[in-house]
């Protein structure tokens, strides 16, 4: 199964359009789809994207029965409430909804970041900050583990 990997920075035009990187487009088009699902990340300052097949998985995760004791699935609920199916135009671009741009703090350029089954869309500056913090956490974890004789 093809996955979303790598980072690509593309330009956002005046209408909020942005080219989805060709490798990412290939991932969803390989599944016969011509659109991506986008939604604001519930936990980070970015937008997140995936194929519609992943949305179907979320739908299945929603309480489908009519039991009054049905468990909630907060994450699925917030994503389904905020997601949008954004089709590709003829050239592989999508239109970023206005509220997603606001949530992610996007302006001129959008960084598409592969995360495996999903991808994220960041403002390049905010992405750099996030990655700096990430590397610090890794360093801290290595330091914490070094006492145990790890490599």
Partner DNA sequence: CGGACTTACATGGTATCTCATGGGAAATCA
Partner DNA sequence: TGATTTCCCATGAGATACCATGTAAGTCCG
Three-state DSSP class for residue 116: strand
Quick check: 124 and 9 in contact, CB under 8 A? yes
Three-state DSSP class for residue 21: coil
Interface with DNA: number of residues (CB under 7 A): 21
∠ CA 124-101-46 to the nearest 5 degrees? 55
Per-residue binding string, DNA, 58-97, x by CB under 7 A, is -----------------------------x-xxxxx-x--
Nearest to 124, CA basis, from 51, 18, 24, 3: 18
Residue with Cβ nearer DNA (73 or 84): 84
Which residues are 49's β-sheet partners? Answer: 38, 119
**Residue 8 within binding range of DNA, rule CB under 7 A:** yes
Residue with Cβ nearer a copy of itself (14 or 149): 149
Q: Which residues bind a copy of itself (CB under 8 A)?
A: 1, 3-7, 23, 37, 42-43, 55-56, 58-59, 61-62, 64, 66-68, 73-85, 113-117, 131, 134-135, 137-138, 141-142, 149, 151
């Amino acid at each position: 199964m093809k996955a979303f990997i790598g980072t690509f920075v593309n330009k956002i035009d005046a209408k909020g359009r942005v080219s989805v990187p060709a490798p990412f487009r290939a991932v969803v088009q390989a599944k016969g789809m011509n659109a991506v699902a986008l939604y604001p990340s519930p936990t980070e300052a970015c937008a997140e994207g995936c194929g519609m097949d992943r949305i179907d998985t979320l739908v299945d995760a929603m309480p489908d029965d009519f039991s009054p004791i049905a468990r909630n699935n907060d994450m699925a609920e917030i994503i389904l409430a905020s997601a949008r199916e954004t089709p590709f135009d003829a050239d592989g671009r999508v239109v970023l909804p206005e509220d997603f741009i606001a949530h992610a703090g996007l302006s001129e350029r959008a960084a598409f970041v592969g995360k495996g089954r999903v991808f994220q869309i960041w403002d390049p500056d905010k992405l750099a900050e996030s990655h700096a913090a990430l590397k610090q956490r890794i360093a801290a974890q290595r330091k914490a583990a070094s006492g145990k004789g790890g490599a």
